[in-house]
Amino acid sequence: MNKLIGVGVRAGIVVAMTLGSGVQAANLEGTWVLQDADNTQAKLDAAVEDVVKEINFFIRALARPVLEKETQICNTWLLATDATQFLWQCDESPPGELALSANKSEMMSDDGRLIHGTLQQSEDRVATILESDRGKRTNVWQIVSDNEMRYTTTLESDKIPKPLTWTLTYHKQ
């Protein structure tokens, strides 16, 4: 039996997903709003600084803006799952989606790059692993309690000395 779990209007796109029986991480579905938004930019700046401090001084000025662009603040996450796919949407950005069975599935990025996507899920977490020639981005949404979710992103690339990681906390709307 399927039931409607969420409808959201974002950037002119209506998102309606159905939840099938047996789908894991169901309590992640819905709309999540950033907690402690006043402190968020400082957390992301600190994560970027932790990585760029190990980069050559002359390259550091070029690397910092590139990494800052990748540390996107999502004030709201819309997460949904149906019988075949997981969908995630940050604020007004176009939604991302992966088949529940995705294991290095090929897709194209907005700028035409080939990306391999993998979805991993358990009872309390969903992870998307997106790999391209630029590196790997792992997004993890994990339930902390009934109304709290922790979102962690890790960026890995041979162009940075160590992974760039940050974690933000959200509450269910």
Query: For residue range 37-82, what is the model confidence (pLDDT) as tens digits?
Result: 888 888 888 899 989 988 888 888 888 888 888 888 999 999 999 8
Domains of the chain by start residue, with CATH: 3-172 (2.40.128.20)
Amino acid 9: pLDDT: 34
Provide the residue count of the chain: 173
Amino acid 170: pLDDT: 97
Residues of the chain with pLDDT under 50: 1-23
Amino acid 60: pLDDT: 87
Helix axes 40-52, 57-70, angle to 10 degrees: 140
CA gap 74, 97 in Å, rounded: 17
Amino acid 24: pLDDT: 53
CB-CB contact of 22 with 46 (8 Å): no
Closest CA to 72 of 99, 94, 56, 87: 94
Neighbours of 130 (CB within 10 A): 17
